[in-house]
Each structure stands twice: as structure tokens, then as C-alpha cells.
Amino acid sequence: MWLKPEEVLLKNALKLWVTQKSSCYFILQRRRGHGEGGGRLTGRLVGALDAVLDSNARVAPFRILLQVPGSQVYSPIACVPIRTIVLVWMFSILTPNPQVQGATLEEINQHWDWLEQNLLHTLSVFDNKDDIASFVKGKVKALIAEETSSRLAEQEEEPEKFREALVKFEARFNFPEAEKLVTYYSCCCWKGRVPRQGWLYLSINHLCFYSFFLGKELKLVVPWVDIQKLERTSNVFLTDTIRITTQNKERDFSMFLNLDEVFKIMEQLADVTLRRLLDNEGFDLDPGLQEPSQITKRDLEARAQNEFFRAFFRLPRREKLHAVLDCSLWTPFGRCHTAGRMFASDSYICFASKEAGCCKVILPFREVVSIEKMEDTSLLPNPIIVSVRSKMAFQFIELTDRDSLVESLLARLKQVHADHPVHYDTTRDEDLTSSVFHSASMCGDHRFGRIEMVSSQNSEEREKEMSPQLHPEALVAGFRRSGSQSPDSRLPREQIKMRLWNDHFVEYGRTVCMFRTEKIRKLVAMGIPESLRGKLWLLFSDAVTDLASHPGYYGNLVEESMGKCCLVTEEIERDLHRSLPEHPAFQNETGIAALRRVLTAYAHRNPRIGYCQSMNILTSLLLLYAEEEEAFWLLVAVCERMLPDYFNHRVIGAQVDQSVFEELIKEQLPELAEHMHDLSALASISLSWFLTLFLSIMPLESAVNVVDCFFYDGIKAIFQLGLAVLEANAEDLCSSKDDSQALMVLSRFLDHIKNEDSPGPPLGSHHAFFSDDQEPCPMTDIADLIRDSYEKFGDQSVAQIEHMRCKHRIRVLQGHEDTTKQNVLRVVIPEVSVLPEDLEELYDLFKREHMMSCYWEQPRPVALRHDPSRPYAEQYRIDARQFARLFQLVSPWTCGAHTEILAERAFRLLDENMDHLIEFKAFVSCLDIMYNGEMNEKIKLLYRLHIPPALTENDRDSQSPLKNPLLSTSRPLVFGKSNGDTVDYQKQLKQMIKDLAKEKDKTEKELPKMSQREFIQFCKTLYSMFHEDPEENDLYQAIATVTTLLLQIGEVGQRGSSSGSCSQEAGEEPQALVPSPEQDSVFADTHNGKSPRESQAFPEAAQGDWTVSLEHILASLLTEQSLVNFFEKPLDIKSKLENAKINQYSLKTCEMNRQSQPELKLSSP
């Protein structure tokens, strides 16, 4: 156990302790009198003294000291538990017991090893000995706290330590309340060569690190969606670290008390968050993870166990694991009990031996007849018997808490039978009454029986009469009867295989509940006999359970889907005649019609997948060896659980497995990987291997053996066969000059793979493309290739493959995000003047704003989630609230309290399709005008922000009497200057209007004129924009001058339209002083009603047709140099971007806190 560091002086203590190990910073010592066997007198005296002391005063038998070079003061930082001391001393003196003594040594050695691996090399980077002592003491104290919290966590659900950590997490990072902390760890974060001791907080959306060391505070926040790579690695100083890679940085974390646990939790959080936010197209969350705010550490551990369970036994995604128990299963073929684990889920009882490949059993509850407890004996402790419909019984022993287990299993068994009742047809022969298939262990008939449906025979016949005509048998059976067989020399081989399989059925069973051992794997690798192939595919994939549980389902789908025309059916029709065209079964309408029905029915069942290319090739093969309805359920098994996420818009699953395959190449074929620096070329070549299970690039009679292995071993069979193919061609691949030559090598090899045992005639192959003048390629037998793949590359476990999939899924999803980003930027860059690097940062801000709403807000109808199926530019969109926050952060037109109103108008202007969402291109185009536009472009944008549709009748800033006339334009256009002179604009007014009319560009769509109400809003915006500008006073004077000029222009136009004359009689011309901003009625605060000056200065006047155009406003603004300078001065977007990156989170948090305060007030009494 770790101890709180305390200083000790060793001058007089050396006689009591013996040094066992030492390094430049640490010393491991043993207490004299402990572990010395007989020992010397000194050791016996010390041991006796330790034994008679009170338990609180006893000394640990081992300790580790920290010594800073040049110091005589030591700090004990670790020892073994004190309770162990008496046992060690007593046994070592009286009856030496090396086992107990060894346990003590093992514990202290574990501490020593941890220090060597995590701290020893790190301390060399410190120059000051005080820094070394402070760092080690801080690290040990953190480890003590973590040990304490771990022990508390085992005792209660929410330990006090976790609550304290939660308070610190909320205070340090200021996230909204919805950001739930999952767990926390003590660790070090490396900044170059310097480690920073602190605390790592893992929340549902972020990885956070906090450190306060040597007077310096460090905060690090990394969203899970920004992580591009998560891996365990090592550096110069540490042997094991966790490296977090984001777009621009790498962060190393080390010195965890339990690094394995930390890494698994981080992997789970990253995987769940990325798939939830970036891959909602193909990701179904577990029910416990549907609400992110409810995720706990225990939920993540349960999810990891669930995913391993479903992958290992290849069960449906909906299956939820309820219990995992150590037990032993009676295996008749071995005449012994085999140790392993029982897995109990919603609809299955499964067993896997501890020894890999020894034995595996899958028992669907649908096949279970009874679950009974047997008498408990010393030979058979806590046994239960599970009996199945195929007259087999499975005996499990050594089950803990047997009573509650049996009770829960019986409850689920009752529920399954209630949902899917099973009826037996007693009118049929006894040999055919067993469900699914005959049990060869109980009877001598080796034929497969028929699958029983829920309904009786008569109801089945009526159903068949009403349903569409389905093909009643496997397509290959018709050609077998027609006599298209292989030469007679191959038939005996098929018969030998049949005998081997029949012998195996007798010993291991022939139903879905059979014992699956290494022996059956060897039989599968040899090739399944054609007469058994379709049925065994059903068993190995467990599609037989879906088939038996859904009688009539496929027929109903066919009825509903046939005859409907849509994009999917058009794609299916195009590919029907491209599906195994060399096989005679698909050269007539019978096979084509069956293929059409299966593909269309599946597209109707699963519209999210619909139809994807390569599904037609796979389905064609299934129809060759299985009945039509069986082929449908096999397709369901492949698409929905055996090859998850393969058949969707982005084929994420296939790309993930391609990345896994690249890693396996580096591990298993390092010489080839070293020669081919870019393995992505091999990955692109091998993509069709995974999508079509080698069917599209290998002769059909050979590829069907690959499919046999796939149905038994899953994707592992494709990985290892791909490695075997590359190894067989490694020499030619290493000598290839480019990718095209490598492709040629592999294509020729795969096209010359034969199947000597195939009973059917060899089919012509059109997969390879090589010229006739090349040397003939030697033939390779598929059985030899498969055998080599198992012998050389078959050591990959399901757990290893799933771990690699999880790791590479992060990389693949982030690769798609990068592709989306680059495509959007490529479209936007030519259309704006923003620098590419600034544009990239704007995109990151835009995406983060979208993500923050996904983190903490309930989904709103308009705030659509990230949709990867949409065009690149439309995958991320933001709503009005998100736009307002971004506008406040990055817009140069900050107007104080008026900024939010201006943002609302800008959003309405940009939302051209009125769907309440805008995309990145529209957002950047608006910013580009603000920062880089010419003055006329900026004024035009401001103008459009103050006319419909940007300005509405319900505008928040329009709750003033603006609909009434606020301005009088009867004053003459005379303004006082600072020197007392006056300027008369009356003479210039008519000429200005005439000139504007001539210069107007007729080719551009004319903007509607601005009413007086809209013009007042325009002026208020300008006034707000000038606030706190260095030239504020000059700008106020200039805008007052321009405003009065424009008001007169509007009135002249109004009078001209009503009287046909632009002349007016000049009345008395009082001296008009330049109004101050506080006095000018144009900018008076009208929210609280009219001001006294306003009610006196503006008598009743009809607003009528008072209008002003964009040309009027632009020409008027050009008359004032201060205004021209304001709109033409260069603006720096980089400082805004830096500030936005810092404040984006805090702005969102403040807004959410403001929203929650009214709710708290309403709920309070």
C-alpha cells in the first residue's frame, strides 16, 4: 500500500533495515527479522520486538524510500500491509511458509516495478532536487487518494470521494450541469519532456485534465469528437502511456494506478460519443446509453461486455446480457466436465470454454424445453440440467447462486415461449416431429428434418395459397437433378465428406444446439458437402432461430414490396443480371425472380440499408444453396450482425475492417509492410474481398468454401485468408513496381484458385484481367489455402479483433469528417476572400457550435442531427440560437445589446429556404462581406438586414412606436458647422437624385425601397456600431448629417410622388445645431415610450409613401469621409478567432444558466 510521504533520518536506523534493491532515487528495504529463515540474533531480537508491539506500533516488513541525491533525508512512500507482518514473522520463525512470504514480496515488488516504469526515468528531467521531492510526494498522495476512492466505490454507489471530485470538476471547467462526470483518475500529462501531475476527468463528451503544480495552473479540455487517434504507446521516459491525438496536437498521459482500466473506459467513451454524434446513420445505442446524461462507468463496462458477447456468439444486436458465470459443462465427446463460462441473455444460454476453441454451445430459449436443478453432491456441486427439443440435455455444474439463476432463466424461458409459441404436429411420423433437425445422438437417422412453424400443417397450406409463389428449394438442387454434375471422380470425395459429417453429428449433435469444437472447424475448412451447406449456414449464423420465430414474415414482405417502384427497386433491377452471370441458375427467369424477391423484401424490411452493391452477389450465392425464405434470413444475419455497418451509405464497417487488415499486415507480414510503404493501396485492392467474401474475385466453386468458413468463424476467416493470399504472393508483391502491377499479381493468383472437391462443373471466370502472352499462373487448391490461413494466421481472437475495430473506427470516422471538411472548404474558398487557414478555423467553430447543442440540449424539431447521408455542405447546419452565439463571437459588427437583434435579422436573411437552418457556406459568405467586402457591399448587406425578410413586423426591436411617424422632414437642410458656417444641401438634392437614377445598374435585381420605419432601424444599428470606436464623436456627427439628408431625400420623393413636383418653398430657416447622440431623436430610446422631445418635435404626419433606396443611402454615406474610413478600414479576423476559441464554451454555459434560472424561479414556492 502507498503511504503518505514523511521525512525520516536513516543515521541510526540502518541496523534495523536491510537494503534489497536501490536506484538513483529509490531504495527498497526489508525489516531485519523478516524472511531470514533461522536468522541471526539481531534479526530475531528485532522480529520479537515487532511481534510484541501493539498493532498500531508495528512496523511493516518492507518499505520503499525516496532519496533525493545529496540529501540525508528519506521519505517512505510504500510498504506492505501491516496486518501481514505478524503472519510473515510467525511463519518464517516457526514454520517457514514461503507462499505467505512470497505474497508480501510480490506486493512490494509490484510497487517497485511501478516506480521504475513510471517515475524513475521521469525524475531525470528535473534540475532542482526540491522539484523532484515535490513531484514524487504529489504523485504518491494522488495514488493514495485514488486507492481510497476505489475502495469506497466498491462499498457504495456514489462515494463521497466521487462527489468531491464532481464538485471540483464543475468548478474547474464550468460546464453546464448536463455534462456528466463518468470517472476520474490521478495521472501525469506530459508537456514536452516535463510531466504535470494532476487529475484526469472523463465526462460523457470531454476528456479534461487539471493540474496545479509549482504555482502553475494547467487546464486541458478535449472533446471526444475531436480525438483522431487513441492508443497505448511508450516514449523515452515511460514504457506505457496513453496518447491522445487531435487535429494539431498529441497529448501523453501516464502514471496511472490501473492503466488497463483507464484505457478501456476512454476507448468506450470515445467510441460511444463518436458513433452517437458522427455515425448515427448506422449506430444503434444500447437502451442504457440512449440518454448520454445517464451514462455511468458501470454502463460502459456492461456495454463492452455486451458487445463482446454478441460478437463472440454472433447474436442479434438487440440481445442484452444478463449474467456471466463461471461453471463447467459436461461434454459427452470428452467424457468430462469442461471449465468455462455461461452467458445468459434475453433469448439465449451460451457457453464458452476457457481454453480457446475447445467447446462452444449456443442454446436459444426457443429450443429449450426445461431447466431443472439436480441434487447437489460433492462430485456435482450446484448442478442444473437444460433440456432442448432435439432430445439433448446439457449439464452445468459449479454455478454460484444457482437458485436465483434458475429462477431468472425460467422467467425468460416462459416469456420467449409466450412471445413465440411452439406447436408440435403429432400427425406426422415420429422421425419428423423433432424441431429444426434430428438429434443424431438420440436416433440413427442422419437426414435433416423440416423446420416446424407455429401454425399447423393445414394453416400453413392455406398461407401458401394466399402468399406469392416462392421458389421451394435451393437453385442448385434443380441443376443437380438435371445431371449437370462433375466427373465421377469427384463424387466419392463428396460421399467421404458426408460420412465424416454424419459421424460428427452422431457425437456432437446436429441442431443449432450442437457442441462446436475444433473438430467441426476442420470439417468446415475442408468444405461443407453441397447437400448440407445451406442448412449448416442456417445453424452457424443462427438464422434458423429467426426463421422459426417469424413464420409467414417473408411472404408478407414479398406481398407488400413487389410491384412498388422507387430508386431502390431501380438499382436492384439494374444489378439482377450482373449477379453470378456465369452460373446457369441466373441465366433464366426462375433464379432472377427469386433474387428480385429477396432483395426487394430486404430493402422493404430495412429501409435504412435498402440495397447496396455487392448484396446481389451474396444473395445469389445464398439462393444457390438455401430455399428462398432461408436465403432471406441468411441475408438478414449477414447484413445486420455478421458484417455490421457494411451495407450502408458510407460502408463504415468495411472501411474499419480495412484498417484492421492493414494493422494485421504490419504485425503478421512485416517485410511486405516495409516494402509497400502505403498499405492503403492493398486496402483498396482488398475491399472487394470483404464486401463480397471473395465471391467477385475468385472462382465460385472455390469462393463457396470461403463462405463456409465465414459462416462458422465470422469475419476472422476473411482476415486470415486475406493474410494467407498476401503471404503466398509476398515475393511478387515486393518486386512489383506500382499498384497496378500489385493488383495484377493478386488478380491472377485469385483467379487460379481451384477446388478439387467441388461436385459441380467448373464455371468460367471473368474476374482477372491479364493478357494471354503472360506465363501461366500455377493453380492453388482452396483447401490448402484455407488450411494455411488457419495454421499461420488463425490465432486472432474475437476480443482482439473487436478491440482493433474499436480503435480503427475512430480513425475511419474522423477520416470521413476530414473529407467532409476538405470538400466544404474546397467549394467555399474560391467564393470568399477569407484566408484558407482562417476559413478552416471558422469551420471548426461552426462544427463545434453544432456539437455543443448535441451535447447538452434536448433535440429540437429544427435542430437536426448530423446526417452523413446529406451532401457535404449540408451535413452540419445551425439554427438561429447557435448562429447568434457565433455572430457574437466572430462578427466585427458588434453593437452591444443590439448585437443579438442584428444576429436574428442576419439569420432570417441567410435562411433562404425558410427551414430555420443555415449551412457553413451561407455563414461564411456573410462574414466575408463584413470583413473583406467593399464599402458598397457592406452597406448593401446592412440595407438588406433592415428590410424584409430580415426585418419583420414582430421584430423584437420594433416594439416602439415606429409605425407612427417619428421624424419630421419639414426642417430645411441647413446644418451648423463648428466654425459657424452653414452648408445648404437643397441645391444638391435634385441633382443627386438624377445622377443616381442614371447610374443605377439595371442588370442587377433592384432591392425594394426602405420605409421610414425600416430606415430608423437602420440608423439605430449604425449608431450602435459606432459605440466605443476611437472616432466615435466624428462618426456620430457624420451619421447625424447623413440621416437628416436622407430624411429630406425621402420626403422629397414622397412629395414628388404626390404632387409631381420636387420644389418646395423654403420657410424660416432656424439655426440647426448638430445634435449629440444623447439628444438626437433618431436614436432616442423608444422602448419605454416616446420622449417629451419626440412628441413635440414630430407632429402628426402621414407616413404615406416615404421611402429611400439603397442608392440614396450609399451616395449620402459617401459624402462623409469619417464614415467612408470606418467602413473601409481593414479588419483582423484572427484575433476574433482566437478569442472565439477561448470563449465559445463559456458563452454557451452562460446562456444555458440564464435559461435555467427562470425555470428555478417558477419551480420555487
For residue 53, pLDDT over 60 is answered with no
Mean pLDDT score, 1066-1085:
39
Cα distance between residue 895 and residue 700, in whole Å: 71
Q: What is the pLDDT of residues 992-1005, one digit of tens each?
A: 555 555 555 444 56
Pairing of strands 194-203, 321-331: unpaired
For residue 485, pLDDT over 60 is answered with no
Q: How confident is the model at residue 82 (pLDDT cuts 50, 70, 90)?
A: very low
For residue 341, the one-letter residue type is R
Name the more confident of 269 and 121: 269
Does the reported pTM lie above 0.85?
Answer: no
Q: How confident is the model at residue 36 (pLDDT cuts 50, 70, 90)?
A: low
Name the more confident of 92 and 327: 327
The whole-number pLDDT of residue 736 equals 84
Beta bridge partners of 344: 323, 349
Quick one: how many helices (H) and strands (E) in the chain?
40, 27
Q: How confident is the model at residue 224 (pLDDT cuts 50, 70, 90)?
A: very high
Taken in order 592, 633, 553, 390, the sign of the CA dihedral is: positive
Q: How confident is the model at residue 1084 (pLDDT cuts 50, 70, 90)?
A: very low
Mean pLDDT score, 1099-1115:
73
Burial tier of 209 (Cβ tally within 10 Å: 0-12, 13-18, 19+): buried
Supply φ then ψ for residue 793, to 5 degrees.
Answer: -130, 15
The whole-number pLDDT of residue 519 equals 93
The whole-number pLDDT of residue 55 equals 37
Residue whose C-alpha cell reads 442448385 in the numeric block: 476
Supply φ then ψ for residue 613, to 5 degrees.
Answer: -60, 145
The whole-number pLDDT of residue 1103 equals 45
Q: What is the pLDDT of residues 428-445, one digit of tens each?
A: 333 333 333 433 333 333
SS3 262: helix
- Asked whether 857 and 864 are in contact (CB, 8 A), the reply is no
The whole-number pLDDT of residue 763 equals 62
For residue 560, the one-letter residue type is E
Least confidently predicted of 229-243, 528-542, 578-592, 1059-1073: 1059-1073
Beta bridge partners of 197: 188
Q: What is the DSSP string of 583-607?
A: SGGGSSHHHHHHHHHHHHHHHHH-T
Q: How confident is the model at residue 894 (pLDDT cuts 50, 70, 90)?
A: confident
Query: Taking Cα atoms as reference points, which of 927, 941, 987 lies closest to residue 1131?
Result: 927
DSSP code for 160: H
Q: What is the pLDDT of residues 793-814, one digit of tens each?
A: 998 899 999 999 999 999 999 9
Mean pLDDT of the chain: 78
Q: How confident is the model at residue 462 (pLDDT cuts 50, 70, 90)?
A: very low
Query: Taking Cα atoms as reference points, which of 210, 207, 206 lies closest to residue 197?
Result: 210
Name the more confident of 146 and 1109: 1109
For residue 147, pLDDT over 80 is answered with no
- Asked whether 1043 and 975 are in contact (CB, 8 A), the reply is no
The whole-number pLDDT of residue 562 equals 82
Cα distance between residue 203 and residue 181, in whole Å: 4
Q: What is the pLDDT of residues 934-945, one digit of tens each?
A: 999 999 999 999
Q: What is the pLDDT of residues 871-881, one digit of tens each?
A: 888 889 999 99
**Percent of the chain whose predicted confidence (pLDDT) is above 70:** 73
Pairing of strands 384-388, 368-373: antiparallel
Query: Taking Cα atoms as reference points, which of 76, 59, 86 lies closest to residue 111?
Result: 76
For residue 761, the one-letter residue type is P
Residues 6+ apart with CB under 8 A from 250: 243, 244
Query: Taking Cα atoms as reference points, which of 144, 139, 146 lies closest to residue 238?
Result: 139
Per the structure block, which three cell numbers stand in for 187?
495521472
Cα distance between residue 497 and residue 525, in whole Å: 11
Q: What is the pLDDT of residues 1125-1156, one digit of tens each?
A: 999 999 999 999 999 999 998 888 888 877 76
Mean pLDDT score, 1021-1026:
91
Cα distance between residue 690 and residue 746, in whole Å: 15
Q: What is the pLDDT of residues 389-434, one digit of tens each?
A: 988 999 999 998 899 999 999 999 999 998 877 654 433 333 333 3
The whole-number pLDDT of residue 26 equals 83
Supply φ then ψ for residue 195, to 5 degrees.
Answer: -85, 145
**H or E stretch covering 1153:** helix 1133-1163
Least confidently predicted of 79-88, 515-524, 529-538: 79-88
**H or E stretch covering 384:** strand 384-388
C-alpha 259 chain-centroid distance: 22
